[in-house]
């Protein structure tokens, strides 16, 4: 299994455990975070970019697929149009880790954590974020706002993730 950390910072030699920023994890010990390769598309964006992501899993119904998938892609990453210029200009770094130093934290989200410092075994630069998503078979949707799609996907049978929605423009 390949594990990665995505960053806009290309100069990280050692990842040191740090306290999680999410309110629901404030009691956790300091951790180094990584994610499985199949979950990378959800994070191949500038860190603060709000996004709605969803993908087909065994439980996804045909009806949901027909209703919400507009291409052959089985994984969608939706972003706001006002972020698209920043996405195009972004350079990301994929830090790859030896998975033996990590334990699973959340299977659905693909999160793995380590309580000890970790050194990457490889660093991959992503200079063209949309092309990197397309190369992974992702449908990239650019929308005026995300909350309408969010409301539809939350009640669906897809596996989904809503990231940095606090930075999203409210629906009008």
Q: Where are the alpha helices (DSSP H) in 40-128?
A: 62-68, 84-89
> 132-172 pLDDT, tens per residue?
999 999 999 999 999 999 999 999 999 999 999 999 998 77
Domain locations along the chain = 3-167
- CA 27 centroid distance within chain: 23
pLDDT tens digits along 14-31: 999 998 777 777 778 999
What the block records as the tokens of 100 is 């033996």
Q: Is the pTM of this model over 0.75?
A: yes
SS3 133: helix
- 């449908």: which residue's tokens? 139
* Rounded Cα gap, residues 54 and 74, in angstroms: 8
């Amino acid at each position: 299994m390949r594990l990665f950390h995505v960053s806009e910072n290309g100069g990280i030699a050692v990842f040191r455990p740090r306290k999680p920023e999410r309110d629901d994890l404030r009691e956790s010990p300091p951790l180094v975070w990584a994610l499985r390769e199949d979950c990378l598309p959800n994070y191949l964006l500038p860190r603060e970019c709000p996004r709605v992501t969803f993908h087909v899993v065994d439980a996804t119904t045909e009806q949901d697929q027909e209703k919400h998938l507009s291409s052959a892609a089985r994984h969608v990453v939706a972003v706001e149009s006002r972020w698209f210029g920043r996405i195009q200009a972004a350079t990301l770094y994929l830090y790859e880790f030896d998975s033996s130093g990590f334990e699973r934290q959340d299977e659905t989200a693909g999160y793995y954590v380590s309580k000890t410092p970790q050194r990457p075994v490889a660093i991959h630069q992503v200079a063209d974020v949309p092309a990197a998503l397309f190369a992974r078979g992702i449908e990239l949707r650019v929308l005026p706002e995300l909350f309408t799609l969010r409301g539809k996907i939350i009640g669906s049978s897809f596996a989904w993730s809503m990231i940095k929605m606090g930075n999203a423009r409210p629906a009008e």
